[in-house]
Amino acid sequence: METNIAEIARIARVSTATVSRVINSPEKVAQETRGKVEKIIKQLNYVPNQQARSLRSRRTRMIAIIVPHSADYLFSYPYFSILVKEVSLELSRFDYHLILTTDEPQEAVTERYRVFIDKKMVDGFVVLDLKNDDERVHFLRERGLPFVTVGRNDRDTDISFVDTDNDLGAYLAGKHLSEKSCKRILFINGLADQSVSVWRERGLVRASRDFGFDYEVFNGDFIEESGAAITRSNLGKFDAIFAASDLMAIGALKVLKEEGVSLPVIGFDDIPLSSEFSPSVTTVHQPIDEVGREAARILVRQISQGQVTKTILPVSLVIRESSEVSA
């Protein structure tokens, strides 16, 4: 016989309500009864059935991350794995758990969200890969479910998010390049519809005004190939490269090496590979592990206290070999 709250109650000679209180709000139970019940719980290795709790309390303690198939590249991006790991670990410290899933290509972007909500499976969502105008945000708002976005945009200003200071990061990169006397920068940005790309371009615009350089933007998709392709088709036109991801910076560096060209290159993220690559990659460091943990904390707070939290984490320029060459 599986032990349940009724058995504990029987043995402790109290009611099931009291056992439940010992578990959920021990402060409401007298010291003595409480000790007695706790002892029996321990003796029998009793653990509450989560499904029953969820049904009754309408809280599942589950959070979902739904990776859109259009962001498939995330799965070979080290940044993403680390983020997911930290989100999951921090959530578990609050007794929440993470469902990780992908959508299918033919589905609507919001379909999986709808299913999770309708089935009453989750208490909230972490939204990655935020767009400037993000359907998922509209949807979740409408449905009234708690969520936190990683990144922020201009439209949705009253929601919980965690972001890094992308604007400043790009500004620092531009400043550094201008200090290397660069005048025409090739800016390999991310996808244009992603909010992160907007912030980074803003930072570079500010820097170009403050320090007097020109730049031109091309949109890549964060992976190495796109950085390489954009670099290849622009050889000879620029005297420096700033890429919105380390992988694209590495793609650029490979092309430059192939072509025997030497230009300062700066990336973004500071993934592990960047310090090992040759040349090691100058980059804007983002505290990705902290982003993950903070996302978890913000969401838990949003769920339990209905509190909107906005966090912007600092970035820093890490100077390595790839920017230490003459233009």
Partner DNA sequence: TTGTAGGCGTTATCAA
Partner DNA sequence: TTGATAACGCCTACAA
Taking residues 19 to 48 in sequence order and writing x for each that binds DNA by CB under 7 A, - otherwise, the string is xxx-xx---xxx-xxx-----------x-x
**Interacting span for its own copies (CB under 8 A) from 42-50, 144-152, 161-169, 311-319:** 42-50
Asked whether position 42 contacts its own copies by CB under 8 A, the answer is no
Residue in 5, 23, 37, 84 binding its own copies, rule: CB under 8 A? 84
Query: Assign residue 17 a region: left if phi > 0, alpha if psi is -120 to 50, beta otherwise?
Result: alpha
Half-sphere exposure of 236 (CA within 13 A, CB side): 2
Identify the H or E element spanning 31. helix 31-43
Binding flag, residue 237, DNA (CB under 7 A)? no
Is residue 75 within 8 A of residue 100, CB to CB? The reply is no
Q: For residues 6 and 108, which CB has a smaller minimum distance to DNA in the complex?
A: 6
Residue type for 287, please?
P
- C-alpha to C-alpha distances, 25 to 17, 19, 38, 247, nearest whole angstrom: 11, 10, 13, 50
**What track of x and - describes contact with its own copies for positions 187 through 206 (by CB under 8 A)?**
--------------------
**CA atoms of 106 and 108, how far apart (whole Å):** 7
Contact map string, positions 41 to 80, toward DNA, x by CB under 7 A? -----x-xx--xx-xxx-----------------------
Those residues with Cβ within 8 angstroms of residue 98's Cβ, 6 or more apart along the chain or in another chain: 62, 63, 64, 65, 84, 87, 88, 91, 92
Sole binder of its own copies in the list 7, 38, 70, 85 (CB under 8 A): 85
Angle of the 246-259 helix axis to the 224-232 helix axis, nearest 10: 40
Stretch that binds its own copies, among 88-96, 172-180, 204-212, 317-325 (CB under 8 A): 88-96
Residue 311 in contact with DNA, rule: CB under 7 A: no
Q: CA 198 to CA 133: how far, in whole Å?
A: 12
Query: Is residue 98 a contact point for its own copies (CB under 8 A)?
Result: yes
Q: Which residues lie near its own copies (CB under 8 A)?
A: 45, 47-52, 54-55, 60, 62, 67, 74-78, 80-82, 84-85, 88-89, 92, 97-102, 104, 115, 118-121, 224-225, 254, 272, 276, 278
